[in-house]
Structure 1
Amino acid sequence: MSESKGISSMRYFPWVKDDEDDAFAWITQDSDFLMHCMDSYLLHEGESVKSWFPTDSVFQLSDDYGVKLTDSIPNTLHLLIVSEKLKGVLEEKSGAEIEFLPVHVRNQKGRLIPERYFIANPLGTVECVDHAQSKFAASSIRPDQVFHFYRLALDRAKIPPDARLFRLKEKSNLVIVRQDLADDILLAGCDGMLFQLMESYGEEWGALRE
């Protein structure tokens, strides 16, 4: 099988938080800096923020979840908060331009954990939603952005052949991962994320809609 044929047969998955294991620690609120930063939205836009992002941002683990630290800490902030191990996999295997912004994590007892974590900020976006096959609600604040997908389908012809990880332009806080990179991440033993089947992404909103 040629490389191009191999790529054309690969699937793409939305990177979502793993909410299936009650033991996992979660982050549910922004750091103090981001709560008061007018430009914090840029962390979801695919734009560089390293010129102003502080090196001492602290995220607090929620008391409402477990205590097990994962390589991608589940959170409600639409951020990829990744361990040093996962950072290494993404640097080596993703082929994407990603800013890694160092952050600190404080546990439920108020102590800073020694493990290093980073916000992974993929730069740029890819416009590739198949509008004929997808169903979604647009944001009332930003009509160019999707608020909820009820069904997501991608136009594969619009995805660059070397794109293993990218932000979706139409919903820029959603990161898409190609099958080979997803396999590399899972083979490295990284946890805390799920690579969701495209056909099931958004089905919870579809059920609410019905």
Structure 2
Amino acid sequence: MQKQSRRGEHMSNYVIWKYASYPAGCVLQDISGFEDTYKLKNGTPLTGQFPRGVSLHMNPDFPDDLALGDSLLNSDMIVVGSARLKDFLIARAIPNLEFLPVAIVDHKGRLASEDYFIVHPTVPVDCLDRKASAYEEDILDPDSIGFISKLVLDEAAIPPDRQIFSMAGYWDLTFARRDLAEALIAAGFTGIRFIEPSEHPES
């Protein structure tokens, strides 16, 4: 059942997972040691194929930002989460979700942590309400969406057990079911916030 906002509008049962800044939170550059990064975007299952030694390096443009929270800002716009976040999600038995181990390397090339994971939803869901949304198709790939100026989800197309998922054809967003989002916020994880689909794109 959908909730209602204070204005009486129906809210989606799903929200968009975003990064939330926190004091001295580190900023990461591109992934090192894994070239097929498009597979992290299109939901290709990687368990058993993801190589060892994959790392993300802190951006030298932010030399004073060293804090490692539960979710780390990165240029690939993927969810890089702590072991604590991974354990929380595993306990919820979320289907079609992988945890791919990565190391975090500091500005001086030293290992900062080996206890981080890419939170990788597989099997993207074709759930854009194309009649209610406003979007542009990718001119090079008709199966992909280049830009969405008004995002409306076709919630009937989303399997009810999908607590975290990506949208087929539009890879830069990670969605969470509202009850999961509320549980994450209540648990006090750092580096995580959520916005409504109607708030995308953020101004």
Q: TM-score range by the shorter chain?
A: 0.7 to 0.9
Once residues 21 and 134 of structure 1 are traced to their aligned partners in structure 2, the CA distance between those partners, rounded to angstroms, is 33
Once residues 140 and 21 of structure 1 are traced to their aligned partners in structure 2, the CA distance between those partners, rounded to angstroms, is 38
Once residues 2 and 192 of structure 2 are traced to their aligned partners in structure 1, the CA distance between those partners, rounded to angstroms, is 25
State the Cα RMSD in Å: 2.2
Q: Which residue of 2 aligns with 1:15?
A: 17
Deviation at 1:152, TM superposition (A): 0.6
User: Normalising by the residue count of structure 2, what TM-score does the alignment of the two structures yield?
Assistant: 0.85
Q: Which residue of 1 aligns with 2:160?
A: 161
The answer as to whether partners of 1:29 and 1:76 remain within 8 angstroms in 2 is yes
> Which consecutive unaligned segments of at least 5 residues does structure 1 have?
205-210
Q: Which residue of 2 aligns with 1:86?
A: 85
Matches within 5 A, 1:4-153: 5=1, 11-18=13-20, 20-21=21-22, 23-31=24-32, 33-34=33-34, 37=35, 39-65=36-62, 66-93=65-92, 95-114=94-113, 116-153=115-152
Structure 1 pair 48–181 and aligned structure 2 pair: CA distance change class (3 A): same
Once residues 118 and 58 of structure 1 are traced to their aligned partners in structure 2, the CA distance between those partners, rounded to angstroms, is 10
Higher helix share: 1
Deviation at 1:53, TM superposition (A): 1.7
SS at the partner of 1:150?
A: strand
User: Normalising by the residue count of structure 1, what TM-score does the alignment of the two structures yield?
Assistant: 0.83
> Which consecutive unaligned segments of at least 5 residues does structure 2 have?
4-9
Q: Which residue of 1 aligns with 2:185?
A: 186
The answer as to whether partners of 1:137 and 1:146 remain within 8 angstroms in 2 is yes
Once residues 138 and 12 of structure 2 are traced to their aligned partners in structure 1, the CA distance between those partners, rounded to angstroms, is 30
The answer as to whether partners of 1:86 and 1:190 remain within 8 angstroms in 2 is yes
Q: Which residue of 1 aligns with 2:194?
A: 195
Deviation at 1:74, TM superposition (A): 1.0
Percent identity of paired positions between Structure 1 and Structure 2? 30
